[in-house]
Amino acid sequence: MQAHPSSEKLINLVKTVNLTLEKHGVADEKAAVVLVMDATGSMKNAYRSGTVQQVVDRIAVLAMRLDDDGKLESWFYASEHHHTEDVTLQNLEGYVARTVLTESGRFLLGLGGANNEPPVMRSLLERHKNSNDPVVILFISDGGVSQTGAIKQVITEAAHFPIFWQFIGLGGRNYGVLEKLDALEGREVDNANFFAVDDLSEISDAELYRRMLAEFPLWLKAAREKRILR
């Protein structure tokens, strides 16, 4: 398993996050950060190898910087979905292994093996649609996305609320509708973005944060102009 990042590594991640927020002109923004992780059967190796823990480490630092309470809200999904304990600086070490895997490396949560994005997306919409602060949902999948109509419907509905969806493809394929979000019509504002990477470990922290935050400032501006955000 991937070791917990050292204090020095965490400090460097915080510095990189701060620099990225400054470059995007959102250093003074506050936002709730939510992580949704694919826990389908095809992701098992990524969990066992520590890749998913690395993802959590890097995203948790962003959450701790952006969110007033310094917590990363966390969900895992496959056929079903499960809201797990928030990630904090205190429980970050070994979070994934402790929360998702048995000692033998099997999935602990028992969420099934197939992709079913719409139910977890709808749960997040209902949970956060009345938020006073912006909500950034970092949604990570290794592909196999097929429920085009239902996903479009949730994203379109969510455009009326203070929620921004950043989908991230992780070492997979067949991302379906996620690759066509920019062409999704009928929304109050453009509230979703997607990028894919073959291997997150090969992307620098600066590049990862740049991609994760690339469209967030544009959405903030548009959402405020439409009075979706105060």
**Which of 201, 176, 216 minimizes the C-alpha distance to 62?**
216
pLDDT of residue 1: 38
User: pTM of the prediction?
Assistant: 0.93
Who contacts 110 (Cβ-Cβ below 8 Å, separation ≥6)?
Answer: none
Pairing mode, if any, of strands 32-38 and 163-173?
unpaired
Bridge partner list, 107: 101
CA distance 170 to 24: 24
pLDDT of residue 5: 60
Q: Which domains occur in the chain, in start order?
A: 31-225 (3.40.50.410)
Q: Is the dihedral of CA 150, 37, 136, 91 positive or negative?
A: positive
pLDDT by residue, tens only, the chain of 230 residues: 344 566 788 888 989 999 999 999 999 999 999 999 999 988 988 888 888 999 899 999 999 999 878 899 999 999 999 999 999 989 999 999 999 887 777 787 888 888 999 999 999 999 999 999 999 999 999 998 999 999 999 999 999 999 999 999 988 888 999 999 988 999 999 999 999 988 888 899 999 999 999 999 999 999 999 999 98
Pairing mode, if any, of strands 81-87 and 72-77?
antiparallel
123: which 2 tokens? Answer: 């749960």
What is the residue-wise DSSP string for 6-42?
A: PHHHHHHHHHHHHHHHHHTT-TT---EEEEEEE-SGG
Q: Is 172 left (phi over 0), alpha (psi -120 to 50) or beta?
A: beta
pLDDT of residue 113: 82
Bridge partner list, 69: none
By the 8 A CB rule, do 6 and 93 touch?
no
Pairing mode, if any, of strands 163-173 and 192-197?
parallel
